C-alpha cells in the first residue's frame, strides 16, 4: 500500500499535485478541506460549524477531521493507497492517523513537503479567489491568518515525520509538471 502525505502551506499546490498523483499511482485522494467544503454545500450541521472557523482561516477541531478521515478509510477498504492532502495538520492528527492505519495493518509511506514562500502563496490564493468562490481566498487578512495557523500548528508536523525518517521537502515553485516530476522521483523511492 502506498500512503502519501502531501504537505505544505495554503496555496502550495497540494490539491493541484494530488489530482495528477492519484492517476499515476492509483490512489484515493483524501482532502479534509474538500470534505469540509462538501459538508458546507450539503448544509450539514458539521458543515455549518466548520464554516464559521474556515471563513476566518482557523483550523477546525482535531476530533472533527479525525472522524472524517476514519470514515473515509472505512468506506475505501479496497483502495491500494491514499494521498492525504491537508491532513494531518496538527501533531495530534498525525498521531491519530498512525493509530488508524495501524489498526488496518498499514502505515504512512512518506511525507513530501512543497516549499513555497509567503509572497507567492498570497499571490496564488488571491488570484484563485477571483473565481474560486472560497470565502477564505477572498480576503488578504484571512489568507495571512491561514499562513499564521500553518506556521504555528501545522509546521511542527514535519518534525513528526522527520523523526520517523519519512520526510522529504521539494521546491514548490516552477511549472506544475516540473513539480510533479520532483514529487514522483521521491514517491518512487517509497
Least separation in angstroms between CB 162 and ligand AP5: 19
By CB under 5 A, is residue 15 in contact with Mg ion?
yes
Rounded to whole angstroms, the Cα distance separating 97 from 103 reads 10
Active-site residue flag, 14: yes
Helices within 58-170 (DSSP H only)? 62-74, 91-102, 118-129, 140-149, 157-162
Binder to ligand AP5 among 4, 30, 73, 124 (CB under 6 A)?
124
Q: How many other CB atoms are found less than 10 A from the CB of residue 103?
A: 10
Binder to ligand AP5 among 1, 2, 16, 95 (CB under 6 A)?
16
Rounded to whole angstroms, the Cα distance separating 137 from 128 reads 7
87 close to 65: Cβ distance less than 8 angstroms: yes
Q: Looking up cell 494521498, which residue turns up?
A: 83
Active-site residue flag, 146: yes
Residue nearer to ligand AP5 on the CB measure, 115 or 176: 176
Rounded to whole angstroms, the Cα distance separating 189 from 57 reads 35
Residue nearer to ligand AP5 on the CB measure, 16 or 164: 16
Binder to ligand AP5 among 4, 8, 94, 113 (CB under 6 A)?
8
Rounded to whole angstroms, the Cα distance separating 28 from 132 reads 23
Binding site for Mg ion (CB under 5 A): 14-15
Binding site for ligand AP5 (CB under 6 A): 8, 10-16, 32-33, 36, 53-54, 57-60, 65, 86-87, 89, 93, 124, 128, 136, 146, 174, 176, 179
Amino acid at each position: 500500500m502506498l500512503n502519501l502525505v502531501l504537505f505544505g502551506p495554503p496555496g502550495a499546490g497540494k490539491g493541484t499535485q494530488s489530482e495528477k498523483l492519484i492517476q499515476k499511482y492509483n490512489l484515493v485522494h483524501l482532502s479534509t478541506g474538500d470534505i469540509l467544503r462538501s459538508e458546507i454545500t450539503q448544509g450539514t450541521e458539521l458543515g455549518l460549524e466548520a464554516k464559521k472557523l474556515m471563513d476566518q482561516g482557523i483550523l477546525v477541531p482535531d476530533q472533527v477531521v479525525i472522524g472524517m478521515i476514519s470514515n473515509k478509510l472505512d468506506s475505501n477498504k479496497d483502495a491500494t493507497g491514499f494521498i492525504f492532502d491537508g491532513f494531518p495538520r496538527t501533531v495530534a492528527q498525525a498521531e491519530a492517523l498512525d493509530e488508524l492505519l495501524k489498526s488496518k495493518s498499514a502505515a504512512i509511506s512518506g511525507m513530501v513537503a512543497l516549499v513555497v514562500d509567503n509572497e507567492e502563496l498570497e499571490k496564488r490564493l488571491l488570484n484563485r479567489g477571483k473565481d474560486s468562490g472560497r470565502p477564505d481566498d477572498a480576503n488578504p487578512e484571512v489568507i495571512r491568518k491561514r499562513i499564521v495557523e500553518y506556521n504555528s500548528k501545522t509546521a511542527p508536523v514535519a518534525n513528526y515525520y522527520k523523526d520517523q525518517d519519512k520526510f522529504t521537502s521539494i521546491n514548490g515553485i516552477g511549472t506544475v509538471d516540473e513539480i510533479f516530476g520532483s514529487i514522483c522521483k521521491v514517491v518512487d523511492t517509497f
